[in-house]
Amino acid sequence: MGEGHSHGAAASSKRLTIALTLTTTFLVAEVVGAVVFKSLALLSDAAHMMTDVAALAIALAAIKIGQRGSDDLRTFGYRRFEILAATFNAVLLFLVAGYVLYEGILRLFSPEPVGSTGMLVVAAFGLVVNLVSMRLLAGGADTSLNVKGAYLEVWADLLGSIGVIGGAIVIMLTGWTWVDPIVAIGIGLWVLPRTWILLKNTTHILLEGVPKGLSLSAVRATVATVPGVTDVHDLHLWGVSSDDVNASVHVVVAEGQPPEPVRFAVLTRLEEVHGIEHATVQIEFGPDGDKAGPGHGDTPHA
């Protein structure tokens, strides 16, 4: 499992590096275009592109740091840095979307002339860059919240580029400059709910909530069906990052029941039924829950 995670991290790192290079190059071009052609929609897209650059850079740093092994101070290693990075990206995107909405409303009341042709050219270039970046990040978005956060940033920019292109065409044909802030506001409103979902997921992991796809009651029922187990309590399920699950549980066995076979059976059942490969099982005896002797508790299964 560790080797697979290492290979996946290396692949994600390479994709993120390429996407970061492309996005940074375009960011410079888009900021210049927004200033020259006086387009709020371009500026809005550039603001999102700036968060893309930050998100990709942070995601890349998170992977590099997350590959460090555990030590005497951080026994789980540095993998939770991925979740911290994804949380920071979500907060950053919230702030940018709020700024864009504010500026868009102001521009509606004070329209400014817009260079629609230049706006169209820059946005079209941005569309190509976003398509390439999305293709690069799609493979890791389902397995890492960190990469998913960067993917959502690029996805928002892709739609932003499409919106800017459409707005530029409308302005070219009609001269309606108010379309520019409308597009900017639309981009901001589209981004906010998706950012909220990402923030909710990362917060859930930071609060050590039950990992997605697992049910506490279902896991408890699985442990209770193991022969020799008479009671289950103090069951905890949590994840350090977006792609691992940890469990700890106390099980009571009947007096005279050999504890080690029961403990092994519980660990095996957790892995086979729920895919939980890292678990600690504390064995206790009888109705009062007396703990088993040394060696029968706090033993992780890897």
Range of 45-59, 60-74, 128-142, 197-211 with top mean pLDDT:
197-211
Give me the chain's average pLDDT, please. Answer: 79
For the segment 137-149, the average pLDDT, to the nearest whole number, is 67
For residue 298, what pLDDT is reported?
41
Q: What's the token pair of residue 210?
A: 């039950």
d(CA 270, CA 272): 6
For residue 252, what pLDDT is reported?
93
> Percent of the chain having pLDDT more than 90?
18
Predicted confidence (pLDDT) at residue 212 exceeds the cutoff of 50 = yes
For residue 106, what pLDDT is reported?
82
Q: Is the dihedral of CA 243, 248, 249, 253 positive or negative?
A: positive
Query: What letter would DSSP give residue 226?
Result: S
d(CA 242, CA 117): 43
For residue 18, what pLDDT is reported?
81
Q: Which position has the higher pLDDT, 32 or 229?
A: 229
For the segment 274-302, the average pLDDT, to the nearest whole number, is 65
CB of 251 within 8 A of CB of 227? no
Closest CA to 229 of 179, 172, 286, 275: 286
Residue with tokens 């896991």: 219
End-to-end CA distance of the chain: 9
Domain ranges of the chain: 2-206, 216-291
Q: What's the token pair of residue 114?
A: 């817009």
The phi, psi pair for 247, rounded to 5°, reads: -140, 150
Confidence of residue 7 (pLDDT cuts 50, 70, 90): very low
Confidence of residue 294 (pLDDT cuts 50, 70, 90): very low
For residue 220, what pLDDT is reported?
95
Assign a CATH topology to domain 216-291.
Answer: Alpha-Beta Plaits (3.30.70)
Q: Which position has the higher pLDDT, 71 or 9?
A: 71
Assign a CATH topology to domain 2-206.
Answer: Alpha-lytic protease prodomain-like (1.20.1510)
For residue 1, what pLDDT is reported?
43
Closest CA to 214 of 251, 240, 184, 239: 239
Predicted confidence (pLDDT) at residue 281 exceeds the cutoff of 60 = yes
Q: Which position has the higher pLDDT, 222 or 185?
A: 222
Strand, helix or coil for residue 55:
helix
Q: What's the token pair of residue 124?
A: 């079209």
Predicted confidence (pLDDT) at residue 235 exceeds the cutoff of 90 = yes
For residue 120, what pLDDT is reported?
84
For residue 271, what pLDDT is reported?
93
